[in-house]
Structure 1
Amino acid sequence: MDIESRLAELGITLPDAPAPAANYVPAVQSGNMLFVSGQISADENGLIKGVVGRDLDVESAAAAARRCGLALIAQARAATGSLDKIVRVVKLTGFVNSTPDFTDQPEVINGCSDLMVEVFGDAGRHARAAVSAAALPRGVAVEVEAIFEIAS
């Protein structure tokens, strides 16, 4: 099944690929690897801000991570022209703006990881890091970057 059809079947509408906010590009292709810059938590109402463990609970933060995943997929589509060029999700690195005593970063980043498997099936299973951050850009709750393998 093609990925666009899979998104429609799941009722998922991708956001527009966000423009870079500084001096970097949204994605870089090197060989058959696509490196997508970190996408920060945002939805149709704007940035999803806050410190997890203080302002947001795990469920809300996981939803924010899912939004990062939607932006990552949108960036991959913008970079490649078609999501059907995605061979697999290779790695996600997730950062959670959390209190010093918060230790459920993996459960937060599952919001993004689960989306990748939902959309890409077994090709969405990936290596991953989920780490705490004392602060993230613009005060957002979550940021996730990705590496995709693409067809040559």
Structure 2
Amino acid sequence: MNIYTKLRESGLELPPPPAPQGHYSPVTIYQQTAMVSGQVSRTADGVITGPVSETTPVQQVRLAAEVCVLRALSVLEQRLGSLEDIDRILFVRGFILGAPGFSQYSQVLDHASRLLTTLFGERGEHARSAVGVAGLPGNGMLEIELVVSLTTAG
């Protein structure tokens, strides 16, 4: 089953690809590896803000992770033409804006990891780092970077 079918079956759709908010490329490709610049938990309605704490509703954390992943896939699709050109998700780095004393960063990033595995199956299994930070653009709750391998050189 292809990625677009899995998106539809999951009730998800890619947002319009966000424009860079600075002097950088949303996606850089070298040989058969694509690196996706950090995507903040920003929707058409605004930023899903942090910090994350023990009392933050799980649904809000899940939505923030979902938004970041879909934004990253959106810029990949814009650059590649099709998400079917993704061979595998190699690495996910998540920056989580945590409240003082919060340390469950890995659990926050689990939502993004599960979504990638749902969409890509075994090809979505990846290495990752979950990093707690003191601030993110727009006071976002989460920012995610992806590294993916491609079926052909970019």
Shorter-chain TM-score bucket reads over 0.9
In the alignment, what sits opposite 1:41?
41
Q: Secondary structure of 1:149's partner?
A: strand
Q: CA RMSD in A?
A: 1.5
Q: Secondary structure of 1:95's partner?
A: strand
What is the distance in 1 between the residues matched to 2:9 and 2:87? Answer: 20
What TM-score, normalized by structure 2, do the two folds share? 0.93
Query: Is the 1:58–1:104 Cα contact (8 Å) retained in structure 2?
Result: no
Runs of 4+ more than 3 Å apart: 54-59
What is the distance in 1 between the residues matched to 2:27 and 2:84? Answer: 17
What is the distance in 1 between the residues matched to 2:101 and 2:59? Answer: 17
Distance 1:59 1:12, change over 3 A: closer
Count of residues in correspondence between the two structures: 152
In the alignment, what sits opposite 1:134?
134
Equivalent position amino acid for 2:39 in 1? Q
Distance 1:62 1:10, change over 3 A: closer
> Where does 1:29-108 land on structure 2 (aligned, <5 Å)?
29-53=29-53, 56-108=56-108
What is the distance in 1 between the residues matched to 2:137 and 2:10? Answer: 30
CA displacement at 1:2 relative to structure 2 = 1.9
Is 128-137 or 59-68 further displaced after alignment? 59-68
What is the distance in 1 between the residues matched to 2:26 and 2:55? Answer: 29
What is the distance in 2 between the residues matched to 1:135 and 1:40? Answer: 12
Q: After superposition, give the CA deviation of every residue in 1:53-89 in whole Å (9 maximum; x if it has no partner).
A: 1783454223211210111111111111011100000
In the alignment, what sits opposite 2:116?
116
Q: Point out where structure 2 has 5 or more consecutive residues left out of the alignment.
A: none
What TM-score, normalized by structure 1, do the two folds share? 0.94
In the alignment, what sits opposite 1:12?
12
Q: Secondary structure of 1:144's partner?
A: strand
Query: Is the 1:67–1:112 Cα contact (8 Å) retained in structure 2?
Result: no
% same residue: 34
CA displacement at 1:100 relative to structure 2 = 2.9
